[in-house]
Structure 1
Amino acid sequence: MPATILQSSVGFVRHGSPCRSLVRRDPARREAAAGLVPQPVLAHAALLSALARLAPAAAPGELTFAARLAATEPETTADLATLLTRAAGPADPAKGPA
């Protein structure tokens, strides 16, 4: 891939598309977009987020089980992510419980 195309792609991903910006600003679009993401993907993201807070030094290979769990048991994965988030405590102590 030529360097200019790669730089353009990286810039696009880093700064986001205009469409993504609209989704972030408009609650109705954000809600509609959330419905387009499959439950296993949402569960996987939530679990990885919770695990990253609990074990920030974990290597990517150590978290591969999260994808398998999310693919086979998305509801259980979401429940586990919620539990781990509560167990980790608030991200900012000044804000109180998560």
Structure 2
Amino acid sequence: MKMKISAALLWVSAIAEAFLAIPFIGGSFVLSTGYAALGFMFILHAVTLFFCFREYSPKSGPILGLITSLLAWFPLIGWALHLLSAIVLFINAAVASRPRI
């Protein structure tokens, strides 16, 4: 069975958010890129949301990811939002990857 594009993008987004949620490592990565990582994640979540609408996949993860990308400039809030986004995205990816009966 072929995986939907939205499911694949949800998995990629979830893994990227989980990486950014690792204390000190994720923050160091964001700072070393001059916050460009947050801009990239915003675009990734926007593209993922587009495909989720197109393929009727769960949308809560990409929406939360967009909000996270906008608010993650604040260190402690950013960490908590990245962690929450990663969890929601992993759940959304698992749901979107399930075969339909």
Normalising by the residue count of structure 2, what TM-score does the alignment of the two structures yield? 0.31
Return the index of the structure with the highest Cα Rg: 1
Relative contact order, higher structure (CA 8 A, sep 6+): 2
